[in-house]
């Protein structure tokens, strides 16, 4: 049986979990803007997944207190680092439902640095590593 695209992605994410080493969080710039002592969870729908350098970005629509979707920008590490952890350019797609742990911006605006992907389309079986 040919693995489906979804299945291949899950396998990729499982490999990523296996590769979960103590990789430090990194940014090409100072990450003083992030509060690394207070990770928070956000849940929403992926609007865009930018597989680019210097950072991979996840744009995600997160409902606010009134249920209105608000766009959050989540900065990840570089393409090469995510690839070494098993991510691929299609690991996330627009429409995917995700739960992310992020180090939020200290100024309270809607964004942060990815800590880890906690849930993808309801699956907690495979959690790619990122710290």
Partner 1 sequence: MRGLVLILAAALAASAASAAPALNARYADPAQPDITGVWQLTGYFTFRADKSIPKLKPPYEGLYARRMKAFDAGKPIDDVTADCLPPGMPHIQVVPYPFEIMQTPGRVTMLYEYAGQVRRIYLDGGQPKDPDPTYYGTSVGRWDGDALTVSTTNIREDTQGDFTGLPHSDALTITERFRRTAPDTLEDSITLDDPKAYAEPFTSVRTYKLHPTWTIGEYVCEENNRNQIQANGVTGFGVPPVKK
Interaction of residue 70 with partner 1, rule CB under 8 A: no
Comparison of 84 and 97: residue with beta carbon closer to partner 1 = 84
Interaction of residue 14 with partner 1, rule CB under 8 A: no
CA dist 19 and 82 (Å) reads: 10
Choose which of 28, 63, 69, 90 interacts with partner 1 (CB under 8 A): 28
Note whether 102 and 116 are within 8 A (CB).
Answer: no
Q: Which of residues 77-116 bind partner 1 (CB under 8 A)?
A: 78-81, 83-84, 105-107, 109, 111
Interaction of residue 30 with partner 1, rule CB under 8 A: yes
Comparison of 64 and 107: residue with beta carbon closer to partner 1 = 107
CA dist 48 and 74 (Å) reads: 11
CA dist 8 and 88 (Å) reads: 11
Q: Can you give the binding site for partner 1, defined by CB under 8 A? A: 23-24, 26-35, 48, 50, 52-55, 57, 59, 73, 75, 78-81, 83-84, 105-107, 109, 111
């Amino acid at each position: 049986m040919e693995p489906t695209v979804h299945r291949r992605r899950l396998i990729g994410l499982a490999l990523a979990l296996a590769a979960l080493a103590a990789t430090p969080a990194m940014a090409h710039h100072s990450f003083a803007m992030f509060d690394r002592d207070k990770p928070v969870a956000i849940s929403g729908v992926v609007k865009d997944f930018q597989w680019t350098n210097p950072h991979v970005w996840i744009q995600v629509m997160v409902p606010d207190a009134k249920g209105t979707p608000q766009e959050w920008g989540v900065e990840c590490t570089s393409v090469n680092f995510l690839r070494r952890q098993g991510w691929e350019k299609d690991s996330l797609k627009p429409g995917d439902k995700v739960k992310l742990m992020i180090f939020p911006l200290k100024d309270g605006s809607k964004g942060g640095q990815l800590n880890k992907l906690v849930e993808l389309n309801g699956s907690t079986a495979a959690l790619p590593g990122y710290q």
